[in-house]
Every structure is written in structure tokens, then in C-alpha cells.
Amino acid sequence: MIAVDTNILVYAHRKDAEWHGPANRCISELAESRTNWAIPWPCLHEFVAIVTHPRIYSPPSSLQQAFDQVEAWRESPGLQLIHESREHWSVFRELMTTGQAKGPVVHDARIAAVCITHGVRELLTADRDFSRFPALRTRNPLIP
């Protein structure tokens, strides 16, 4: 299963984002396919926070626009929304320790642990911090 990180979701949603075209194509291909794909719940929460933030986007997306976007993705037949499972804490601790994660990278360790415990084989992201967690393969779909 492939999972999608927040930054790809944001770029796919925001038409004014530099990487909108490739991110939108990536998400559209996943959403329209019959392949199983995933979005971690924390990424959806972060997506809403970022696209509605007036210091990040001017004008920001409205809360309704953000909700509508999430609802559109949720209509994809192959989408699974994934979350912390019973095994999360032990995987998270291991990733934190081996990746020497601190500060903002703790959130990335959380995402990585959610993905690993749900059998995600690849996370689509433009965030290089995930390289601290070699147990989760990553790929930047914005770069050919």
C-alpha cells in the first residue's frame, strides 16, 4: 500500500502551490485507481491546519473548502484512512530512538509509525526528514 504525506495533499489542493500540477496528478491517479492507498489521519489534520492558515496562504482555503477536499478524497474506493494501532507505541519509540528524532521530527516519526504498523510499503512525500526512518521507504512524486 502507498500512503501520502501532508505536503503532497497540500500541493494537490492549492492551485497556487508551485508543485500543484504534479501533486494533483499523483493524487488523482491514486484516487481514480482501484489500488489501495492510504492517508494517515494526522496528515489530514495537518492538511486542514495548513491550507486554512492565513500566514501560510493568502487567501487561505476556507474551512469548507478544506473539508470538501477531504470528502472528495474519501470517495476514492481504494482509500484507507490509517491511525495509531496497538503496536504504534513500540514502533514509534524505535523510530524515535534510531532516527534520533527531536522537535518537529517527532511528528514525522508518528506518521512513519502509523504507516509501518499498517503495512505501508511506500510514503509519497517531499519531506527529506523521513530519511531518518529507513524502515519506511519514501519517494518524492514531484521529481521525475
pLDDT digits (tens, 9 = 90+) for 7-56: 999 999 999 999 999 999 999 999 999 889 999 999 999 999 999 999 99
Domain residue spans in the chain? 2-139
Is residue 129 within 8 A of residue 99, CB to CB? The reply is: no
Q: Is 119 left (phi over 0), alpha (psi -120 to 50) or beta?
A: left
Condensed to tens digits (0 to 9), the pLDDT of residues 85-104 reads 999 999 999 999 999 999 99
For 91, the 3-state DSSP assignment is: helix
User: How far is residue 123's CA from residue 138's CA, in Å, rounded to a whole number?
Assistant: 5
Contact residues for 136 (Cβ-Cβ < 8 A; gap 6+) = 112, 115, 116, 120, 123, 130
User: Residue 144: which pLDDT band, with cuts at 50, 70 and 90?
Assistant: confident
Which pTM does this prediction carry? 0.94
Residue 27 is placed in which grid cell? 493524487
Q: Does domain 2-139 have CATH number 3.40.50.1010?
A: yes
